[in-house]
Chains A and B, each alone.
Chain A
Amino acid sequence: MRQKFPVMTVIAVLGFVFLYAPILSLIVFSFNESRLVTVWSGFSLKWYAELFRDTQILEAAWLSLKIAVASASLALVIGTLAAFALVRFGRFRGRMALGVMVSAPLVMPEVIVGLSLLLLFVSMEGLIGWPGGRGLLTITIAHATFGAAFVAVVIQSRLVSMEMDLEEAALDLGARPLRVFFDVTLPVIAPALVSGWLLAFTLSLDDLVIASFVSGPGASTLPMVIFSKVRLGVSPDVNALATLIIVIVSLAVTVAALHITRSNRHAAR
């Protein structure tokens, strides 16, 4: 049975317009001739040309990409282990602590996470001389930490809905648990691993606040460069950059989603 409320439908449609209108305007005005990003004056690709001549942006993008790949991969390992322990191990010592530490980063204000990690790094350096300055390494550690929480949530929901009979059958037949994990569990949760990694990757690529705290001189990530540009006012080359990021992310997410639906359908059969 379906309840129909025209008001709800109208608000929902407006809600989708609200979600997409700013993004569409970003894309449209990246092709604008004029420096004004709100008045259309003709088609041009010059802001893209300008973007690819901007070495500061290109260097920052490369640094951000390296950090995102490294931190997402670390987050995938830590988050998957945490999810596996929380869903499959029943009661164990530290379960409560692990549960809290996996869910808290999702809502913790970024300024708190950034400040506290920076103070930790500074204190550790005073005590044991590690991590020896701040930059790529410290940002990667910070991103891997909150990325792991997001990965854990994604993998947890997949593990909860997964039937355990295949794993039990393999164990009954005498397979070692590690083998069962790699041969049975891993293939089944592979789509969740892909979306978890992608989520940690995009979150790392996007983070401004935490990176600003734990970064050092000379290590500016892409969001840090964008933020300092945007603070001075709108600039069309940021629109061009935004368009490129939106197109790449949308393509990646759509391909991943289609792939996951197909493999889920396959598994259901």
Chain B
Amino acid sequence: MSARGLAGLRRAWSGRALVVAVPLLWLGLFFALPFLVVAKISLSELAIAMPPYLPLAEWADGALSIVLNFGNYLFLLSDGLYVAAYLESLKIAAISTLFTLLIGYPMAYVIAMARPDRRNLLLMLVVLPFWTSFLLRVYAWIGFLKSNGIINNALMALGLTDAPLQLIQTDIAVYIGITYTYLPFMILPLYANLSRLDRSHLEAAADLGARPLTTFLTVTLPQSAGGIVAGCMLVFIPAVGEFVIPALLGGPDTLMIGRVLWDEFFSNRDWPVASAVAVVMLLVLIGPILLLRRAQAREES
């Protein structure tokens, strides 16, 4: 770059500060700061007031007293319901992520190996449902899964079953709902990875007489590990806190932590306990989030 270009860049210095400051302040105020507020309120005591909690710090008789109430966390640990809900959420998210991978990998693979002129069309077919309403796509499954729904009607018409199967309001319905709605999040990083696959390795393996399956297992699969980790975490992390899918497709005993938080807030109006639930959920998810960041950084380089 010439000297004049550099001078232009230097003149832009104040402009640069503005470009950085606007998103930094906005996201800091409305995305980062709220987490501190949640942490603060998770340490306060429930009160019948508006807002329904007591302040942490109080100024009385010339003394500042700060009361940190860990009772909400102790309550989460002692009441078996919350621990069970965390474990159940992790289990449901993990099983759904596995299903998503088992369907998503072949789809990403077939798209990556398709003729270049067809790839964009197939990719668009994957992304298009994602653009239409998430809520309505979950709703569509109610019509499929209920006792007089499409699946049961088909099974009974074919004579495969006499009485309708209980599909809706089960954990299976939740697995299907999560797998269905999060499938594009699995396919896109896998596709990005597989389309960059070094074809010369595949050819070398084939030239050396390796069977296609051997080549796939020893060359393709290990090389796509980064895409697999990224895709799995993009599905797993939001699935752990999912509310809509267990609320619409799950049964009363489908205990997911997102639903517990929702009820704690909207039904019990216990903001401090809802905050503690959120903080613990965040702590549980830190590991997967770091894993995702590492996988994404590796994929980009």
Chain A interface residues (CB < 8 Å from chain B):
1-5, 7-9, 11-12, 14-16, 18-23, 25-26, 29, 36-39, 77-79, 81-82, 84-85, 89, 92, 94, 97-98, 101-113, 115-117, 119-120, 122-123, 126, 141-142, 144-145, 148-149, 152, 168, 171-178, 198-199, 202, 205-206, 208-209, 212-213, 223, 226-227, 230-231, 234, 238, 241-242, 245-246, 249-250, 253, 257, 261
In the bound complex, residues from chain B placing their C-beta under 8 Å from that of A177 are 8-9, 11-12, 15
In the bound complex, residues from chain B placing their C-beta under 8 Å from that of A38 are 143, 146, 148-150, 153
Report if B228 contacts A (CB, 8 A).
no
Contact between A98 and B139, CB atoms less than 8 A apart: no
**Contacts A39-B148, A110-B241 known; A171 to B281 CB distance under 8 Å?**
no
Q: Which residue of A lies closest to B34 (CB)?
A: A116
**Contacts A18-B103, A171-B9, A206-B133 known; A109 to B24 CB distance under 8 Å?**
no
**Contacts A1-B202, A111-B278, A145-B27 known; A85 to B128 CB distance under 8 Å?**
no
Question: Would you give the 0/1 interface string for B137-148, flagging 1 where the beta carbon is closer than 8 Å to chain A?
Answer: 101111110101
Which residue from A37, A238, A261 sits with its C-beta under 8 Å from B120? A261
Contact between B110 and A148, CB atoms less than 8 A apart: no
Which secondary structure characterizes the binding site on chain A?
Answer: helix
Contact between B241 and A109, CB atoms less than 8 A apart: yes
**Alpha-carbon distance A1/B198, docked complex (angstroms):** 11
Contact between A11 and B106, CB atoms less than 8 A apart: yes
Q: Which residue of A lies closest to B108 (CB)?
A: A12
**Alpha-carbon distance A228/B148, docked complex (angstroms):** 22
Q: Which of B57-65, B69-77, B232-240 is the interface stretch? A: B232-240
Given A148-B23, A234-B146, list of 20 further CB < 8 A pairs? Answer: A5-B212, A5-B213, A15-B107, A22-B143, A78-B22, A101-B27, A101-B32, A103-B296, A104-B289, A109-B258, A115-B274, A119-B271, A119-B275, A123-B37, A145-B31, A172-B2, A172-B5, A234-B142, A249-B133, A253-B131
**Alpha-carbon distance A206/B293, docked complex (angstroms):** 26
Contact between A116 and B4, CB atoms less than 8 A apart: no
When A and B form their complex, which 5 residue pairs have the shortest distance between CB atoms, in order from nearest? A109-B241, A116-B34, A22-B140, A82-B23, A177-B12
Which residue from A2, A109, A226, A250 sits with its C-beta under 8 Å from B238? A109
In the bound complex, residues from chain A placing their C-beta under 8 Å from that of B38 are 112, 115-116, 119
Nearest Cβ on chain B to A244's Cβ, whole angstroms: 10
Interface residues of B in 72-104 (CB under 8 A from A): 102-104
Contact between A234 and B139, CB atoms less than 8 A apart: yes
In the bound complex, residues from chain A placing their C-beta under 8 Å from that of B137 are 22-23
Which residue from B23, B104, B125, B144 sits with its C-beta under 8 Å from A85? B23
In the bound complex, residues from chain B placing their C-beta under 8 Å from that of A19 are 125-126, 129, 180, 183
Report if B267 contacts A (CB, 8 A).
no
Nearest Cβ on chain B to A220's Cβ, whole angstroms: 14
**Alpha-carbon distance A107/B234, docked complex (angstroms):** 6
Which residue from B15, B132, B148 sits with its C-beta under 8 Å from A23? B132
11 A-B Cβ contacts within 8 A?
Answer: A15-B183, A23-B137, A26-B140, A112-B278, A115-B275, A177-B15, A226-B135, A227-B244, A230-B248, A249-B131, A250-B131
Q: Which residue of A lies closest to B23 (CB)?
A: A82
Which residue from A111, A213, A226, A231 sits with its C-beta under 8 Å from B136? A226
Contact between B27 and A82, CB atoms less than 8 A apart: yes
In the bound complex, residues from chain B placing their C-beta under 8 Å from that of A231 are 247-248
Contact between B120 and A98, CB atoms less than 8 A apart: no
Q: Which residue of A lies closest to B136 (CB)?
A: A242
**Contacts A101-B27, A174-B8 known; A246 to B265 CB distance under 8 Å?**
no
**Alpha-carbon distance A94/B212, docked complex (angstroms):** 48
Contact between B240 and A171, CB atoms less than 8 A apart: no
Contact between A171 and B8, CB atoms less than 8 A apart: yes
**Alpha-carbon distance A230/B168, docked complex (angstroms):** 14
Contact between A205 and B133, CB atoms less than 8 A apart: yes
In the bound complex, residues from chain A placing their C-beta under 8 Å from that of B136 are 26, 226, 238, 241-242, 245-246
Contact between A107 and B19, CB atoms less than 8 A apart: no
Interface residues of B in 20-73 (CB under 8 A from A): 20, 22-24, 26-28, 30-35, 37-38, 41, 51
Contact between B107 and A115, CB atoms less than 8 A apart: no
Contact between A81 and B23, CB atoms less than 8 A apart: yes
Nearest Cβ on chain B to A205's Cβ, whole angstroms: 7
Contact between B103 and A11, CB atoms less than 8 A apart: yes
Interface residues of B in 189-213 (CB under 8 A from A): 199, 202-203, 206, 212-213
Max count, chain A CB within 10 A of own CB: residue among B143, B237, B296: B143
Nearest Cβ on chain B to A235's Cβ, whole angstroms: 10
